Chains A and B, each alone.
Chain A
Amino acid sequence: MHNMKTENNTTQVMEPFKGFSKETLSKFEEIKTHFPAGKEQSAIIRMLHLAQIEIGWLSTEGMNEVAKALNIEPIEVYEVATFYTMFHLNPVGKHVFEVCRTGPCMLVGSDKIIEYIQKKLAIEVGGTSADGMFTLKTVECLGACGYGPVIQCNYKFHQHLTLEKVDELIDAYRSGIIENS
């Protein structure tokens, strides 16, 4: 076991990375077949999603394994991973609340939702709650503008949010009623 610094400097105990599961590795191979021979690098983004689902974030070790699976240099993986905002390049809590902050959501009150979560979980945007359960991030448009305010949490959408619904949501995640997808 070793200690990792999360984005707001709370210390979490993490399992050392021992390589991807057999299922993930076989999914890697399957995705590569979607592209012509020699063009397997096209699989990288989907592989990074799978890597992140398994590790919880994209650690250097994890990205290096993806590089190996694609037979490319690690730097080529870092280049891609650092471009896309869905990839967490630092450890995060078990559940990552990504709150849309863009115009259409702001028009229907996303600012209040962000402020409320900060208070309730006693964290800043980008921070992780002391129990390691929640990380709060703000993101740009999630393409759910008619259903705002919106949170995406580990690929699940939670829409038409109110402060009461945020309370329910946090309780549901805490008690395990909602599982990560």
Chain B
Amino acid sequence: MKNRKLLLEHIDLPGIETFDVYRKSGGYRSVEKSLNTMTPDEVVEEVKKSGLRGRGGAGFPTGMKWSFLAKPEGVPRYLVCNADESEPGTFKDRYLMEKNPHLLIEGMITSSYALGANTSYIYVRGEYMYILTILEKAIAEAYKNGFLGKNILGKGYDLDIYVAPGAGAYICGEETALLESLEGKRGNPRIKPPFPAVKGLWGCPTVVNNVETLVAVVPIVNEGGEAYASIGIGKSTGTKLISACGNVVRPGVYEIEMGVSVEEFIYGDDYCQGIANNKKLKACVPGGSSVPILPHYLVTKTAAGENRLMTYESLAEGGFVSGSMLGSGGFIVFDEDQCIVRNTWNFTRFYAHESCGQCSPCREGTGWMEKVLNRLESGQGNIRDIDLLAEINKKIEGNTICPLGDAAAWPVAAAIRHFREEFEWHVTNSDEALKRNFGLSKELIMA
């Protein structure tokens, strides 16, 4: 499969962060094309045709999300870019914004035009403060060159873009928590409905999109939605940024055409180049810490023995029994030396720390799971603890305002489903479990 780059094409071009170089490389064409030759609805139509799905993790069709935006007379509408990127394993938006900030600004202008927004915000996680500076510099250049401000390109369209930082809260990646935070409050998710498309920022109709989603609008408008949709397989169209980390030879951000095989992504020369230190693959979390972990025998092949592909559908093949999710594209690889119990405990500690505390099942449940997992990991566990975790899981899942509860529950359920014998080993061989890791499961040892 050839390796087309739509988003990272110019990422290593020297000076691409400046307006002049970005413009010379073909930048801001989508703004010219849309403002000069298209109505806002025609831009929305192209995005619908492209099949683009939200790149933050949920994978909801972007064109459909846009078409839900309420348009009452005399009420401002807002576009908010979610640059909170906080799903463990995910660092693609950082890379994109740091290296090519104008691409995001361009995507935001074109998208704001399509939505009829005259003020748009980029909410950047507080830890990315240096990127806030990079973005503000790019925004200032865009104003200077007539792509932002009043009467853009003489077409009577006005747009201001501002950047606002968070200050360390995973939950602010959830769109309603993000809006609360952007309003200067604690990041507590809101009850939906009403959805942001009806009542969002300051009670006004709002679209919240991930960085990569808005950036993808640029090639979609430039080349047309159909051309974009011709890349990929089925309902997984276009390209996707995957941030690979953990025990691979070459961690980093890769743009893949949807449909590259997982095997090629992990072992191929163009991507991760295999498992680091000549170790064997033990497991993979393919879409950020919230998605189910896959044991090595379900990573490159599905349970039915088909090649697993980097698409929304193929990674989910087998449901939660034997599949996972593409999620945010945070691709975390575990080698044979890693301890699944320890990792599950670590992720659970993350969710316990990041729970906003509004809903009891999540606030209490994540804390209980963290304690039980810590007990198991430190050799103090009881065999009943394993089923206790599953019990707590069921009480969290589906019983909270926002998906953080599910995000905390799924990884634990999946880890127990696929690695139960490793959890049991921590109880039955607790002295040994303190000294060494379990290693690989039987299937691979026999293979």
Q: Which A residues are closer than 8 A to B by beta carbons?
A: 34-36, 39, 41-46, 48-49, 79-80, 83-87, 101-104, 106-108, 139-148, 152, 155-157, 181
Contacts and interface: CB of A to CB of B under 8 A. Distances in A.
Contacts of B168: 84-87, 139
A156 to B, nearest CB: 8
Given A44-B184, A140-B354, A145 B167 contact: no
B164 A34 contact: yes
B159 interface: no
B88 A41 contact: no
26 contacts: A34-B162, A41-B184, A45-B165, A45-B167, A49-B165, A49-B167, A80-B186, A83-B187, A84-B187, A102-B289, A102-B346, A103-B332, A104-B332, A141-B289, A142-B127, A143-B90, A143-B94, A143-B128, A144-B91, A144-B94, A145-B89, A145-B243, A145-B246, A146-B253, A155-B129, A155-B130
A87 B169 CA distance: 11
A46 B245 contact: no
A81 B317 CA distance: 43
Nearest to B83: A143
Contacts of B88: 102-104, 140-141, 145
Given A140-B88, A143-B127, A146-B252, 16 more contacts: A34-B162, A36-B202, A41-B183, A41-B184, A80-B184, A83-B187, A86-B126, A87-B167, A106-B342, A141-B88, A143-B86, A143-B91, A143-B125, A146-B251, A147-B91, A181-B130
A146 to B, nearest CB: 4
B85, B183, B244, B246: which has the most chain A beta carbons within 10 Å? B246
Nearest to B162: A34
Given A86-B127, A146-B251, A42 B164 contact: yes
Interface of B: 76, 85-91, 94, 119, 125-130, 162, 164-170, 181-187, 202, 243-247, 251-253, 289, 330, 332, 334, 338, 342-343, 346-347, 350, 353-354, 356
A143 B85 contact: yes
Nearest to A84: B167
Contact of B246 (A42, A107, A155): A107
A57 B441 CA distance: 48
B284 to A, nearest CB: 12
B126 A107 contact: no
A45 B246 CA distance: 32
Contact of B350 (A43, A87, A103, A156): A103
Contact of A45 (B166, B170, B202, B346): B166
Contact of A39 (B91, B202, B244, B346): B202
B165 A46 contact: yes
Nearest to A83: B186
Contacts of B169: 83-85
A81 B280 CA distance: 45
Nearest to B338: A107
A145 B86 CA distance: 10
A84 B178 CA distance: 12
Contacts of A107: 245-247, 332, 334, 338, 343
A43 to B, nearest CB: 7
A36, A83, A155: which has the most chain B beta carbons within 10 Å? A83
A123 to B, nearest CB: 21
B12 to A, nearest CB: 16
A107 B339 CA distance: 9
Contacts of B166: 45, 84
Given A49-B126, A107-B338, A141 B332 contact: no
Contacts of A181: 130
A146 B88 CA distance: 11
Given A102-B346, A103-B350, A141 B243 contact: no
Nearest to A45: B167
Nearest to B160: A34
Contact of A141 (B128, B246, B350): B350
A46 B183 CA distance: 12
Contacts of A148: 245
Contacts of B126: 45, 49, 84, 86
Contacts of B342: 106
A108 B94 contact: no
Contact of B185 (A80, A108, A140, A146): A80
Nearest to B351: A140
Given A85-B167, A146-B243, A103 B91 contact: no
B167 A108 contact: no
Contacts of B350: 102-103, 140-141
A39 B76 CA distance: 14
B90 A145 contact: yes
B401 to A, nearest CB: 16
Given A80-B185, A146-B253, A104 B162 contact: no
Given A85-B167, A155-B130, A106 B343 contact: yes
Nearest 10 pairs of A and B residues by beta carbon: A84-B167, A86-B168, A41-B184, A146-B251, A85-B168, A145-B245, A44-B184, A83-B186, A34-B162, A141-B88
Contact of B347 (A34, A39, A103, A147): A103
A85, A107, A141, A143: which has the most chain B beta carbons within 10 Å? A143
B289 A103 contact: yes
Given A104-B245, A107-B332, A146-B91, A46 B354 contact: no
Contacts of B251: 145-147
A156 B342 CA distance: 29
B92 to A, nearest CB: 9
Contacts of A103: 88-89, 289, 332, 343, 346-347, 350
